[in-house]
Structure 1
C-alpha cells in the first residue's frame, strides 16, 4: 500500500491511498500524521486504520503530481518537531566514492577513516536478532523547515560549493505517547548534500549535510523489499546528462535496518512523544563521484518500482552571501 498527501482546491490536505494503479482519498483523514496518531492510539496498524475510514473519491495521482498538487507525504503540525537525519557508509560499494573524495597522503596500506568505518559496518553492522551491532556514521540535516516537497526546488545556500543528489530510502517514524518509535513506512529520498565542501576535509561533513532534503511522493506501508533496484538521473535543459542504477535494501547494505534504527532511537532526544522523524539510510551512487558538476536548473529524478511515483526536484542556488552573518547583542 502506498499513501500520499494532496492539496485540495480549497487548500486543505487530503490523504490518498494507492494499491496498484487505483488511487482514492481516505474518508475523514485530515493528514497522514493524524492517521498515524489514530493508529497508535487504537493500537492497530495504519492499514487497519485506513480500512476503518474507508475510501472515497478516486483521483488521478500522476496528473495531480504534474499539476503541483502532490505535497510531502507527511508533515508535522509544528515543523520544529520534524527531524531530518541520516546515516552514511551503509551500502556495499558506498565506501569507494567516499574514499576517493577523502584520499590521504599515506601509504597504500593505510586505511582512510571512511574505509575504517565501512569495514566496521561489514564486520558488525548486521548483528544477530536481539543483539546490538556497531554504530554507523550519523548526521543531522535539519528540521521540518528543510523538508522539500516533490517537484519543488532543492535550494543550496549562497555559500555552497556544490548541490548534489543522493538517492536514498528513508524511514518515516512517529514517536508514540510512551516514547516508542512507530515506523509509518518507507519513502524515496534525495539526501541533498555539498560534496565539494565534504571533500575538503571529512570533518566538514556535518556542514555539508545542513541542506534541504526531499522525500516522497508516496510512502510504502509494510515490509521493505530486501533488494531494491532503482535509477537516479540528472537532466539539464530536458536532456539526461547522467543516469545510473542504484541499489538499496538489506541485500545491498552492510548494516541491517534494525541496527540503524537502534542507533538513531537509542537517544532519548529522538524519542520525544509526538515527534516525527525522516531518517535516510545512505547510498552508493552519486553523480558527483562520476565527475558531474551540477548547475542551477538541473533536475534530479529518483525512481524505484516499490515506491510508486518518481521523486523529481530541480536544483536552485540562493544568491551569494554579501558577508558574514551579524549577531546583534541584546
Structure 2
C-alpha cells in the first residue's frame, strides 16, 4: 500500500492510499497520516487494518495533485518541532569511494587511510549482526526538524552561505512513537538528503554543517517492509533537458548495514522515543552527481524515483538571499 497527503484549499489534509499501479482514493475520516499511524500504533493494529476500518472515499488523480503543487510531505506533525530529520552515511556497498577520495585529497593522506574508509570497513564487518546481537554503530547526523521538510514539488532552498547544493538519492524510513514510547515503522519512501558537499570536502569535521539543509521525501510512503534489492534512478534536469542521470541501488542486498541495525542505533537514544513524535531517518546512498564533477545551479530540477515506491520525487534548487544575523543582549 502507498500512502500520501494532499493539502486542501481550507488548510485541511486529505490522506490518499492506493496499491501500486492502481487509482488512489481518499481515506474516510482521516485527518493526517500521523493520526492514522498513531491510531495503529496505539491499538496494536496494522496501518492497513486501520485504513480498511476507515474505508475509502472519492478517487483522486495524484498526477493532477502533483501538477497543482498540492502534495504535502507524506507525513507531517502539527508541531514541526516534533518531526526529526536524521540520517546515516557510509551504509551502502561502494558508498565510501567518492567520500574517501574527497577526504583524502582534503587531508593529504592516502586513499583508504581516511576515517571514512575505516568507518565503512567497520560497517562491512559488523553492520549486519546476527539475531540477538548488537552490530557496529554507523555514522549518524542531524538535518533538522519538520520546518526543514520540503514538500514534493517544492523548492529545496540552499542558504546564501552554502558552497554547494547537491542531491543525495536515498531511502528514508518513516516512524512514529506510540504512547508507550515504542517506535513503529510506517514504511519507506524515496528521499533527497540535500547536502553541501563542498563544505564537507573542506574538512570531514564540517560534515555536521553540510547536513543542516532541507530535505524532501515522498510523495508516497510504501507501507511495510522494503524489497531487499531496490533499484532507482536519480537525475538532474536543467532547462527542460536531462543534464545528468545515474542509477542508484539500495535495500539490504546493496548495503553494509541492515535496516534493523541502523534503526537500533537511532532509537537506542531515549530522546528519540518521545510519544507522538515522527522520525524521518535517511539511510545513505552511493550515487552523487557531485562525485561526477557536476555543479548544480539554481533552477535545476532533482528527480529521484524507484518503481516500488510510487510517484517520483521532484524538487527545484533555489538559493536563499543573505540574512543579516544579529545577536541581541538581554
- TM over 0.5, shorter chain: yes
Q: Distance in 1 between matches of 2:196 and 2:62?
A: 32
The answer to whether residue 20 in structure 2 is matched with residue 17 in structure 1 is no
Q: Distance in 1 between matches of 2:32 and 2:290?
A: 36
List aligned pairs for 1:1-330, cutoff 5 A. 1-19=1-19, 20-103=21-104, 104-107=107-110, 111-321=113-323, 325-330=325-330
In the TM superposition, residue 8 of structure 1 has moved relative to its aligned partner by 2.6
Runs of 4+, deviation exceeding 6 Å: none
Any conservation in 1 of the 2:100–2:116 contact (CA below 8 Å)?
yes
Q: Distance in 2 between matches of 1:293 and 1:158?
A: 16
In the TM superposition, residue 32 of structure 1 has moved relative to its aligned partner by 0.3
In the TM superposition, residue 258 of structure 1 has moved relative to its aligned partner by 0.3
> The residue matched to 2:280 in structure 1 has which SS?
strand
> The residue matched to 1:102 in structure 2 has which SS?
helix
Q: What is the root-mean-square deviation of aligned Cα atoms in Å? A: 1.0
Question: TM-score, normalized by length of structure 1?
Answer: 0.97
Q: Distance in 1 between matches of 2:10 and 2:18?
A: 22
1:57-107 Cα offsets, whole Å, 9 max, x none, are 011111111111121111001000100000000000000111121013235
Point out where structure 1 has 5 or more consecutive residues left out of the alignment. Answer: none
1:271-317 Cα offsets, whole Å, 9 max, x none, are 11111100000000000000000000001000000111000000011
1:132-171 Cα offsets, whole Å, 9 max, x none, are 1000000000000000000000001110000000000000
In the TM superposition, residue 321 of structure 1 has moved relative to its aligned partner by 4.5
Any conservation in 2 of the 1:159–1:321 contact (CA below 8 Å)?
no
> The residue matched to 1:80 in structure 2 has which SS?
helix
Point out where structure 2 has 5 or more consecutive residues left out of the alignment. Answer: none
- How many residues were matched structurally? 327
> The residue matched to 2:99 in structure 1 has which SS?
helix
In the TM superposition, residue 14 of structure 1 has moved relative to its aligned partner by 0.7
Question: TM-score, normalized by length of structure 2?
Answer: 0.97
1:184-220 Cα offsets, whole Å, 9 max, x none, are 1111110000000000000000000000000110000
Q: Distance in 1 between matches of 2:251 and 2:110?
A: 34
> The residue matched to 1:312 in structure 2 has which SS?
strand
Q: Distance in 1 between matches of 2:310 and 2:13?
A: 20
Instruction: Name whichever of 119-128 and 99-108 sits farther off.
Output: 99-108
Any conservation in 2 of the 1:175–1:182 contact (CA below 8 Å)?
yes
